[in-house]
Structure 1
């Protein structure tokens, strides 16, 4: 391992990595909130961790971390933090909040294992093209919906939903990366940000929120899936044309 001298660029790159790692501070706060049965606070910290996740990649690329700190794998760091904040802790919260039956604790291992395999998939080519394989299972967002709609669904139905999402994570289907460079990525990025703000507005106005508004918020995830299918279909067709020309 070759460590570069501590130039200004190296220090800035290290700060960018520290920003990514600050997601673990959110992890500690989420864990503490779960232990204290403070569901609302746990979800707030989950949303903060999502904000960090949405911005750390842009920061890392802007300061060129791969050039100035090549001895640190920022992608691996991001995946580790994401697994904790997006999968592990949200699933623990889903159980601890009583959204699934007590006897169903063993079943949260299924989405945990599915997410682990999803994070470990070899998908560099698709990743560089602006896609990733498997449904993006943001269990932290699911926690937000379950909190807002507390009691609206059967606990056993939620168990089924968790398993459906787990299976979707392993499907050989490509989805757009919000921070990718492919067509529609900007739409996904801006739309996702507005969607999250919309959900947080509903969250902070509880219990005065409108059930209709919650249903309206589901339009974006549906639009995201449709755009991903269209974009990847276009990408495959363009790739075939390029290969044919060569």
Structure 2
């Protein structure tokens, strides 16, 4: 009986190791998505590039939940899944989109290196900052979702000066102590946010497919309208979650003449409960 018990435990352990490695390989496939997204960008196939970034985004949205369910850290303690995920996320969410900003002429020529450089530097610092996420899974400052931002700029096709203004505004939001929801893990309004996030992903996929292959082109305007309405959910939610803090942020801004006061002010605001 004891031998059977040990055998079952060993079999379970082997299964956990197998599934854990399989999950790490799934996460690693995100770097393949990065490669093809970059290749398609250089080839001028921008919506194919977004398809690969979208696949990378989908993988990133599910692998963490599966990892926690499988307790991957216990099965493969020598593999740092968070580091693996962060490396791939930086390339998919920041580096490739920054390259797109430069390569596709989304910005004025005089700024098409400066703005991507600022985005890459601020984002890499943000990735190394342990205080960019709260215990309630809010992001402090605008999250590094530049892949999504560039997608909006390409689809909406505004003037390059407007694009520059939008990007500068978001860079400023990145250093302000505002709370932004995680699309899957923030507890407040989580069920509604999950539904809205899933719907947004579906309509984003439809828009990209229509733009690339012209399938169902008659429904493009409808998909675009719904997509924009879904996008406003996150804007309104951010405003709601941070209502009452804007006056404090203004006072915080007055104190920015010294680093210590600025950091202290940001820490105090970030520590507040919603």
Q: TM class by shorter-chain length?
A: 0.7 to 0.9
Paired positions, count:
229
Distance 1:132 1:72 in 2: 25
Of 163, 185, 192 in structure 1, the residue corresponding to residue 190 of structure 2 is 185
Question: 180-189 or 38-47: which moved more?
Answer: 180-189
> Could you list the runs of 5+ residues in structure 1 that have no partner in the other structure?
1-5, 239-246
CA contact (8 A) 1:134 1:175 kept: yes
Distance 1:181 1:163 in 2: 26
Residue in 2 that maps onto 1:164: 169
Of 62, 74, 79 in structure 2, the residue corresponding to residue 67 of structure 1 is 74
| Corresponding residue SS for 1:7 | helix
Cα 1:125–1:141 shift into 2, 3 Å:
closer
What TM-score, normalized to structure 2?
A: 0.74
Query: Does 1:78 pair with 2:85?
Result: yes
Residue in 1 that maps onto 2:39: 32
Of 30, 39, 63 in structure 2, the residue corresponding to residue 23 of structure 1 is 30
1:45 Cα deviation from its structure 2 partner: 0.7
CA contact (8 A) 1:115 1:166 kept: no
The 5-angstrom pairing of residues 119-158 of structure 1 reads 119-123=127-131, 126=134, 128-150=135-157, 153-158=158-163
Distance 2:186 2:226 in 1: 28
Cα 1:100–1:12 shift into 2, 3 Å:
same
Query: Which of these two proteins has the greater Rg computed from alpha carbons?
Result: 2
Distance 1:125 1:31 in 2: 29
Deviation string, structure 1 residues 33-73 (Cα, Å, up to 9, x no partner): 12212212111111111111111111111211122122222
Of 219, 224, 243 in structure 1, the residue corresponding to residue 234 of structure 2 is 224
1:7 Cα deviation from its structure 2 partner: 2.3
1:213 Cα deviation from its structure 2 partner: 5.1
Residue in 2 that maps onto 1:94: 101
CA contact (8 A) 1:183 1:231 kept: no
Distance 1:16 1:100 in 2: 38
What TM-score, normalized to structure 1?
A: 0.82
> Could you list the runs of 5+ residues in structure 2 that have no partner in the other structure?
1-12, 244-270
